[in-house]
A and B are shown apart, each in its own frame.
Chain A
């Protein structure tokens, strides 16, 4: 892929020049789910070695059932790896979610009994912040996510896309340094996905957080990420890491760029075989 790009350098993370340890470091991470009543365990994942650079947008694609979500849960500290090490900001993750990580799930994770404001402020309850600061952060998140008119609505009154925005806002107000997203737009229609993708890019630029996105949509990965990890069929391993070299300032119109087609094609080349395996045809 010989795409010359003037702005390519800006795709690098802000601290790329410094010799800094990886923001997230996975070494030989493996996950085997214990078998039920004497049957063999299921080897779901790994071994995986991966470094996430501070401030980068990393996407993972892979055939269904390849352990993408398991990988995310291991990084988040929601699931313990069977073998290998996971470190976030140089500290090992052991059995609980470390401070500074936010997770957005595919399923609707809004609290149906709380209104939108209360939903967004949920994670600030523990931080012991002054009420004025909580208010300011929630207001900012409402504005950022285009939810200002809905502060006192309940989740059931909102569309699926808006509820997912509430969940993203709820994560943002805690100011995470690493945001993990597990197919956050999986349940949305294509147009909404594209718009939500643009919003995600904007948030990523503004918050300077490291973003780790799992998706099954190759075009979504190609459009959003700095780097794309391609996973194999189960047990999920990293087959390839594709660098997109997009400028940091970008939006969904990037799909018109010839490089976009080339990246998507390369992803599919790596994945076709694996997807066939996943549905038992290879």
Chain B
């Protein structure tokens, strides 16, 4: 019943109503078809795009690079979070930088990265990683801060080494918080990859969307946008489900 409670039904109804409204606006010509085809048409094109497999390489490249950037952000973010948490002095030095980090327009470094690494996939992965890693670090720190003192005392009573304490107590405790950071990192990874493909690249979904846009190819552009949405929401839902399961076990849902 959890998935189909009153709130969930209302939520689904709102989304369906918005899609229906779009359909109506497109069909009645309020939105002309050069700007946007009706959602039913986009769904059809989406299906054809998947069947034809024409943009398969671009899709694979974009989602693959986003996955690499996401994986790096998670691994580096958790390790960096644990290390920074362990050294109060280091943390004091770095925390103000983290707080102002999102004032930095990371994309501004993209041309520089292209100069350094060439117009390939590495600059895009670096951008996506840079966007995501801080969210993971911040949320890991938040989780580690919440570990109750009594659990740390228990670690000492069991004579755990610092690394055992991290692996067996503090990181498991922090996992739901790390997942919050992971959900952000997925969104940032996609933004980083697709954004840099838009700006300057040789392929990928962002490149194909920009290419379709300049060629008035709505039958390609909208399905690709839809695919990005679907991929992002699916990945987010999986992590969200995992997060809710862990919190549910702790009676915190």
Contacts and interface: CB of A to CB of B under 8 A. Distances in A.
Query: A and B bound?
Result: yes
Interface of A: 76, 78, 96-97, 99, 101-103, 105, 107-109, 111-114, 122-123, 125-126, 154-157, 174
Interface in B157-195: 157-160, 164, 168-169, 172-173, 175
A96 B156 contact: yes
Contacts of B159: 96-97, 99, 126
Interface of B: 148-151, 153-154, 156-160, 164, 168-169, 172-173, 175, 246, 249-252
Given A105-B150, A107-B148, A108-B150, A113 B156 contact: no
B232 to A, nearest CB: 28
13 contacts: A78-B153, A78-B157, A97-B156, A97-B159, A99-B159, A105-B153, A107-B149, A109-B148, A111-B172, A112-B249, A123-B158, A125-B168, A154-B250
Contacts of A174: 158
Nearest to B250: A112
A156 B153 contact: no
A97 B249 contact: no
B214 to A, nearest CB: 51
A226 B102 CA distance: 63
Contacts of A125: 168
Given A111-B169, A126-B164, 11 more contacts: A78-B153, A97-B159, A102-B157, A105-B153, A107-B148, A109-B154, A112-B173, A113-B246, A125-B168, A126-B160, A156-B249
Nearest to B159: A97
Contacts of A154: 249-251
Contacts of A108: 150
Contacts of A156: 249-252
Nearest to B161: A126
